Amino acid sequence: MLHETAFTSGNTKAESKPMSGAELLLRALIEENVEVIFGYPGGAVLPLYDEIYDADIAHVLPRHEQGGIHAAEGYARITGKPGVVIVTSGPGATNIVTGLTDAMMDSLPLVVFTGQVATNVIGTDAFQEADIMGITTPITKYNYQVRNIEDIPRIVKEAFYIAQSGRPGPVLIDLPKNIVTGKAQVSEDVEIHLPGYQPTTKPNYLQIRKLTEAVSRAKKPVILAGAGILHAKATEELKQYAEMQRIPVVHTLLGLGGFPADHELFVGMAGMHGCYAANMALNEADLLINIGARFDDRLTGNLDKFAPNAIVAHVDIDPAEIGKNVPTKIPVVADAKEALKELIAQKGEQPQTEEWLATIQTWKRDYPYTYEDDGSLLKPQKVIEMLYEKTNGEAIVVTDVGQHQMWAAQYYKFKNPHRWVTSGGLGTMGFGLPASIGASIADRDATVLCITGDGSFQMCSQELAVVKELNLPVKIIILNNTALGMVRQWQELFYEKRYSHSKIPVQPSFEKLAEAYGIQGYTVSDAEEADRVLTEALSHREPVLIDFRIDPEENVFPMVAPGKGLSEMAGVKKR
Amino acid sequence: MKKRIINLTVNNRPGVLNRITNLFSKRNYNIESITVGHSEQEGVSRITCVVNVDNDRIIEQITKQLNKQIDVLKVTDITDQAIVARELALVKVLATPSIRSEIYSLIEPFRASIIDVGKDSLVIQITGDPDKIDAFIELVRPYGIKELARTGTTAFLRGTQRLPSQAKNISIL
């Protein structure tokens, strides 16, 4: 073997005995306090799996590698700790590409190990070889291919550090088979060496002063709180600061839960399907304080019409996000928590915002999310409202992508942080069910609502097997409109109702599908039944699947159509 | 379109160049040339990128995105500073014996040199700033260029800056 000769040939003078790459790897994972691995074995990782057989780390076997990485994302979203994934080379590795991209877009910490063919055959198109370094370079925060066995402890340590520090993200480690099987003697001390990576966490004092002064002068300030608040675990500081300065708070989709939805200063979610009050608050604001959001296009709408009257301040740990989409007057490169602590410590003069807050209250009162319900067909919004009431707003809510995702974001009011798991930036259908598994493993006590659609659910439904195997309290809520609802909605609104391949009337019986996996299934088509079934489903800790046959014509409103500004919402109705 | 010269020092690790060039294509930046080689420090390479940008916001984004890369140690936009920038070009020109001397006379003011003489062609090596090389190429074009290879610009700061305070170092704020 390539590496055995160099390090182990007759060398017996050191105390520590040579260890295999697999042993070193497992030891490094234990060192990082890894509780659970989401992994799928295969040829190139067989030696690693032989080591896992005896290891004291839980292992979850998804039924598809994509399910494994989405589960790791769900775990990371709830715990803030890196989700750990192990897959084999070739197809195992390429099957996690979507999950890596999703984690990259939504800044989720992951450490992903991929098997690789032995170093002496890399580049020969060997069986199950894929250039995963090349493939994943643009979709990882960093990636490594281990070339020397003795580098394993350092690389793993660096990977965990990179994944969860600064702006979190996925890190991939590619493990050639001979590296895993080969042995080496390594020293106990492991030091990371990353001279080019020093994230700025403490804010610049002058910028904080500038922001404090701008706040004290503002008449209509608004805080736009993104997921950065959650990554930094800064929800307490956000609340304290907003209360101290009497500034209303608007959330991005991914930021939900960062500020309690029942708080008087909470305005709502902004963006394409955000509420009237939140979008109008951004539109009318004279000072926009973005903390940990990246001005995504689904949030801003037409950039030329975005926050036309506002001085923009932007707090972000990633300097590249500042000024990327929206010109920024006051840039603050910092961790959200550190920045908020500094802002609080400034004890700046409180701006006169009572009039502004009253205006926002009027918007909130007059233009809430609404839907029409004549009682004939089951309304999806009604289902979410019931879920909210029956779980006291305290469940973990995981969604897939599409109409159901927007309804969940609109009608489930998050009181607490780290209860909301959704694929924002990439918009990955198939994310929901596996992410629910990861979320449930991350918080074993919580009830997990997997709110999904009939389209999304069928993209990863094989993971029902894992839900059953681990008997997780995951309540799968399918809002079934026999269509790819959001596609159908856009075709209705923008393509003259030409429903090109968006309707899926032929479907399996989801109830029977659940039963085939040994999970209790239900089919529900009216509100009364919904109430009864939900009460029953939420009364125990077993997994259930409920197929809600909702109004197939229901659309998500309000809506900022593509190319429109936030103040040009369609479907706004005055109460 | 404005031309900017960006100087990078990076860890000399496998995949670094891939990460950098990938970033340019991923972010849809227009790259004119890129040169890479060892620097004065062991394990550290120096990269010079010449990019075409529409406005200052894009160049700011480019430098920030480059800075974000874990193997990138330092990024500097050196365009507006006192710099030395050089490029090398090899030009194979059609040259029958009868017109060789004519070409020799063109080469001299450019301080270029002939590094290969063939039956009916010459290979000329020229170094200098890119404008000088452009000018030279235009000058010899009428004779017939058989092959042309340019290295792209490599550059760094001069030892003395006129106004050191103006040195625009873009690094993490």
Q: What pLDDT, in 10s, does the model give residues A294-320?
A: 999 999 999 999 999 999 999 999 999
The whole-number pLDDT of residue B173 equals 46
Task: Give contacts of B72 with chain A, Cβ < 8 Å.
Answer: 196
Q: Is A571 exposed, middle or buried (0-12, 13-18, 19+ CB in 10 A)?
A: middle
The whole-number pLDDT of residue B163 equals 62
pLDDT(A6) > 90: no
Q: Is the peptide bond before A199 cis (omega within 30 degrees of 0)?
A: no
Residue indicated by tokens 């994310």: A431
pLDDT in tens, A286-301: 999 999 999 999 999 9
Chain B within 8 Å of A331 (Cβ-Cβ)? yes
Provide the pLDDT confidence category of residue A15 given band limits of 50, 70 and 90. low
Residue indicated by tokens 């590698």: A65
Rounded to a whole number of angstroms, the distance from the CA of A312 to the nearest CA of chain B is 16
Q: How far apart are CA A524 and CA A484, in angstroms?
A: 19
DSSP string, A245-298: HT--EEE-TTTTTSS-TTSTTEEEE-STT--HHHHHHHHH-SEEEEES----HH
Q: Which residue of B has its CA nearest to A196?
A: B73
Provide the pLDDT confidence category of residue A10 given band limits of 50, 70 and 90. very low
The whole-number pLDDT of residue A234 equals 98
Query: Does the ipTM exceed 0.85?
Result: yes
pLDDT(A511) > 60: yes
Return the structure tokens found at A416.
């607490």
Chain A within 8 Å of B41 (Cβ-Cβ)? no
For residue A473, the SS3 value is coil
- The structural domains of chain A, ordered by start, are 4-184 (3.40.50.970), 205-366 (3.40.50.1220), 380-549 (3.40.50.970)
pLDDT in tens, A261-281: 999 999 999 999 999 999 999
Provide the pLDDT confidence category of residue B160 given band limits of 50, 70 and 90. confident
CB count, 10 Å around CB of A529?
15
Q: Indicate if A529 belongs to the active site.
A: no
pLDDT(A398) > 90: yes
Q: How far apart are CA A399 and CA A180, in angstroms?
A: 37
H or E, element range at A83: strand A83-87
- pTM of this structure: 0.94
| Rounded mean pLDDT, A474-501 | 98
Long-range CB contact pairs, B143-147, < 8 A, 24+: B143/B93, B143/B94, B143/B95, B143/B99, B143/B103, B144/B93, B144/B94, B145/B91, B145/B92, B145/B93, B145/B94, B146/B92, B146/B93, B146/B94, B146/B121, B147/B90, B147/B91, B147/B92
Average pLDDT, chain A: 95
pLDDT in tens, A59-106: 999 999 999 999 999 999 999 999 999 999 999 999 999 999 999 999
Given A142, A145, A318, which is nearest B14 (Cβ)?
Answer: A145
Asked if A323 lies within 8 A of B60 by C-beta distance, the reply is: yes
| Rounded mean pLDDT, A26-31 | 96
Which has more pLDDT, A188 or A331? A331
For residue B130, the SS3 value is helix
Say if CB A59 and CB A186 are below 8 A apart.
no
The whole-number pLDDT of residue B170 equals 52
Say if CB B86 and CB B129 are below 8 A apart.
yes
HSE, CB side, 13 Å, CA atoms: give it for residue A147: 6
Return the structure tokens found at B53.
């940008």
pLDDT in tens, B64-108: 999 999 999 999 999 999 999 999 999 999 999 999 999 999 999
Alpha-carbon separation of residue B52 from A2, B4, B24, B168 (angstroms): 46, 6, 11, 18
pLDDT in tens, A516-551: 999 999 999 999 999 999 999 999 999 999 999 999
What proportion of chain A, given as a percentage, has pLDDT over 90? 96
Q: Indicate if A113 belongs to the active site.
A: no
Task: Give contacts of A324 with chain B, Cβ < 8 Å.
Answer: 61
Provide the pLDDT confidence category of residue A472 given band limits of 50, 70 and 90. very high
- The structural domains of chain B, ordered by start, are 2-77 (3.30.70.260), 84-154 (3.30.70.1150)
Say if CB A65 and CB A463 are below 8 A apart.
no
Chain A within 8 Å of B97 (Cβ-Cβ)? no
Task: Give contacts of A210 with chain B, Cβ < 8 Å.
Answer: none
Chain A (136-195) residues lying within 8 Å, Cβ to Cβ, of chain B = 137-138, 141-143, 145, 147, 162, 194-195
Provide the pLDDT confidence category of residue A3 given band limits of 50, 70 and 90. very low
Task: Give contacts of B59 with chain A, Cβ < 8 Å.
Answer: none
Asked if A320 lies within 8 A of B64 by C-beta distance, the reply is: yes
H or E, element range at B10: strand B2-11
Chain A within 8 Å of B10 (Cβ-Cβ)? yes
pLDDT in tens, B31-52: 999 999 999 999 999 999 999 9
Q: Indicate if A259 belongs to the active site.
A: no
The whole-number pLDDT of residue A348 equals 95
CB count, 10 Å around CB of A19?
20
Hey, which residues does B157 pair with through a beta bridge? Answer: B83
Asked if B15 lies within 8 A of A195 by C-beta distance, the reply is: no
Catalytic-labelled residue, pool A23, A32, A51, A65: A65
Average pLDDT, chain B: 91
Provide the pLDDT confidence category of residue B164 given band limits of 50, 70 and 90. low
Which has more pLDDT, A2 or B37? B37
Q: How far apart are CA A404 and CA A325, in angstroms?
A: 28
Q: Is A534 exposed, middle or buried (0-12, 13-18, 19+ CB in 10 A)?
A: buried
Indicate the pairing of strand A448-453 with strand B113-117. unpaired
Rounded to a whole number of angstroms, the distance from the CA of B15 to the nearest CA of chain A is 8
Q: Is A127 exposed, middle or buried (0-12, 13-18, 19+ CB in 10 A)?
A: exposed
Chain A within 8 Å of B96 (Cβ-Cβ)? no
Contacts with B115 (C-beta within 8 Å, 6 or more apart), sequence order = B90, B123, B124, B125
The whole-number pLDDT of residue B167 equals 53
Provide the pLDDT confidence category of residue B161 given band limits of 50, 70 and 90. confident
CA dihedral A178, A182, A187, A190 (to 10 degrees): 20
pLDDT in tens, A351-378: 999 999 999 999 999 999 999 999 999 9
Q: Indicate if A127 belongs to the active site.
A: yes
Q: Indicate if A177 belongs to the active site.
A: yes
Long-range CB contact pairs, B80-84, < 8 A, 24+: B80/B166, B80/B168, B81/B157, B81/B158, B81/B161, B81/B166, B81/B167, B81/B168, B82/B157, B82/B158, B82/B160, B82/B161, B82/B162, B83/B5, B83/B155, B83/B156, B83/B157, B83/B158, B84/B155, B84/B156, B84/B157, B84/B158
Rounded to a whole number of angstroms, the distance from the CA of A208 to the nearest CA of chain B is 13
Asked if B172 lies within 8 A of A333 by C-beta distance, the reply is: yes
Residue A473: phi and psi, rounded to 5, are -75, 55
Asked if B172 lies within 8 A of A137 by C-beta distance, the reply is: no
pLDDT(A11) > 70: no
Asked if B15 lies within 8 A of A324 by C-beta distance, the reply is: no
Q: Which residue of A has its CA nearest to B24?
A: A138
Q: Provide the strand spans (E) within B21-120.
A: 30-38, 44-53, 72-77, 83-94, 113-117
What proportion of chain B, given as a percentage, has pLDDT over 90? 79
Task: Give contacts of A119 with chain B, Cβ < 8 Å.
Answer: none
The whole-number pLDDT of residue A395 equals 97
Rounded to a whole number of angstroms, the distance from the CA of A211 to the nearest CA of chain B is 16
DSSP string, A400-447: -SSHHHHHHHHHS---STT-EE---SS--TT-HHHHHHHHHHH-TTS-
pLDDT in tens, B101-141: 999 999 999 999 999 999 999 999 999 999 999 999 999 99
CB count, 10 Å around CB of B64?
21
Task: Give contacts of B14 with chain A, Cβ < 8 Å.
Answer: 133, 145, 147
| Rounded mean pLDDT, A433-437 | 98
| Rounded mean pLDDT, A225-249 | 98
